[in-house]
Amino acid sequence: MENTENKSGWRWVPSLYFAEGLPYVIIMTVSVIMYKNLEISNAEIAFYTSWLYLPWVIKPLWSPFVDLLRTKRWWIISMQTLLGVGFAAIAFFIPTSFFFQSTLAVFWLLAFSSATHDIAADGFYMLAQDEAQQSFFVGWRNTFYRVAMIFGQGLLVMCAGLFKGVFGTWQTAWLVIFLIVGGLTLALSVYHRFALPRAADDTSKSMARIGDLFASFFRKRGIVVTLFFILLYRLGEAQLAKIASPFLLDDVSVGGLGMSNEEVGLIYGTIGVVALLCGGVLGGMLAARDGLRRWLWPMVLAMNLPNLVYVFFAFAQPDDFLVVASGVAVEQFGYGFGFTAFTLYLIYFSQGEYKTAHYAICTGLMALGMMLPGMASGYVQEELGYGMFFVYVLLCCIPGTIVAAFLKIGDKEKSDKQ
């Protein structure tokens, strides 16, 4: 692979993966908090925002066309520009009487743009660097993706709470937030016009090869168990993720913890994300050292048992900031540690001629496993109340745990040092 320009990865890898993570966290997490502040019901929030997963579910269907049409560099800059304009449009619609319908429509377009950006950015990362550079920057790209999460569901959520105190209404507070996000995203698109190298893109794929790509995935050994694992491993987490923020924000009188945006932004969006990152790093180190087979069951248990934290929160309703922060940190650390098993198994399963595309199919199915349960979670919570809902989430962890017992994991992944 040759580059027409030789630009250091430090100039563009951190900013590119910050730009990849920011739209995702805004669309999937910050939107939930915004709608809660604007007094949309939990059932409507969970149902409609879960539909926003759909572009990530189906992105393997159009990812080959991102390869075939234009360069990945063009797609990155174009999608960032479109995302910036879209976030500004959200700000425009927030003060209107039809804000819920109009902002959801824009979020839908933004979700497709963000999923397309993911395809182009991940492909560009491989094209613009040799294998040694890719290995060196893989940790940094993941770190800056997490930094975008902290910025989005941490700093921006806290700022929304502060702006509400300054401007007096949630509408104005979130309007300002989305103007900031839109301006930042447009600034990143301008920066990347100059910072991204011009890599030699390989677009010589044929439609026949694309057909074989999909067919070969479903011919893989162990495909049935793998499909159940992908769809069920995060069944509990998929529903918890949609209700956690509304639960923390809801008044104590209706079963919530009555926290402010500033507190939720600090606890869930900052402390929680740092704990998530630490769990993921530790899981990756242990799996690289000893192999996934040895750590599979500790990771499965770490993924599910910490959900007991929310059962405790719902029934005890603690008002101590440190107790809630510590509980969220434990739950998120367990999630990060347990999610390592999920990621590594998908990488292991995807090995072969089409490993990149097959991994994309796996992540699309993963998004489906988050979307469908998430759509129902709000209705289930409203029927059961917060306490029994979190008990129900624990029960939903059982099917994925059972399927994990049927996974066939060899020693091959131990030497991959993923």
Taking only the tens place, the pLDDT of each residue in 2-53 is 444 556 788 898 899 999 999 999 999 999 999 999 999 999 999 999 999 8
Q: How far apart are CA 413 and CA 411, in angstroms?
A: 6
Phi and psi at residue 351, to the nearest 5°: -60, 145
The pLDDT value recorded for residue 408 is 86
Report how far residue 400's alpha carbon sits from residue 418's, in angstroms, rounded to the nearest whole number. Answer: 23
pLDDT of residue 331: 93
Using DSSP's 3-state secondary structure scheme, residue 3 falls into strand
User: Is residue 414 scored above 60 in pLDDT?
Assistant: no
The domains of the chain are located at 8-197
Cβ contacts of 161 within 8 Å, gap of 6 or more: 173, 260, 261, 262, 265
Residue 206 has pLDDT above 60, yes or no: no
Neighbours of 195 (CB within 10 A): 16
Tell me how far apart the alpha carbons of residues 225 and 223 are, in angstroms, rounded to a whole number.
6
Please answer whether residues 243 and 374 qualify as being in contact, where contact means their C-beta atoms are separated by less than 8 angstroms: no
Q: pTM of the full predicted structure?
A: 0.78
pLDDT of residue 416: 45
For a pLDDT cut of 90, what percent of the chain falls above it? Answer: 57
CA distances from 211 to 224, 226, 305, 328, 354 (A): 20, 21, 41, 44, 12
C-alpha distances (whole Å) from 145 to each of 18, 122, 264, 352 are 5, 12, 20, 27
CA distances from 193 to 8, 115, 116, 134 (A): 15, 20, 18, 21
User: Is the distance from CB of 335 to CB of 370 less than 8 angstroms?
Assistant: no
Class of domain 8-197: mainly alpha
| Position 412 pLDDT exceeds 70 | no
> Residue 139 — very low, low, confident or very high, per pLDDT cuts 50/70/90?
low
Torsion (CA) 239, 243, 248, 254 in degrees, nearest 10: -120
Point out the least confidently predicted range of 84-98, 151-165, 266-280, 348-362.
Answer: 348-362
Residue 361: which pLDDT band, with cuts at 50, 70 and 90? confident
Per-residue model confidence (pLDDT) at position 25: 94
User: What band does 144 get if pLDDT is binned at 50, 70 and 90?
Assistant: confident
Bridge partners of 199, per DSSP, are 3
pLDDT digit string (tens) for 243-259? 999 999 999 999 999 99
pLDDT reported for residue 303: 92
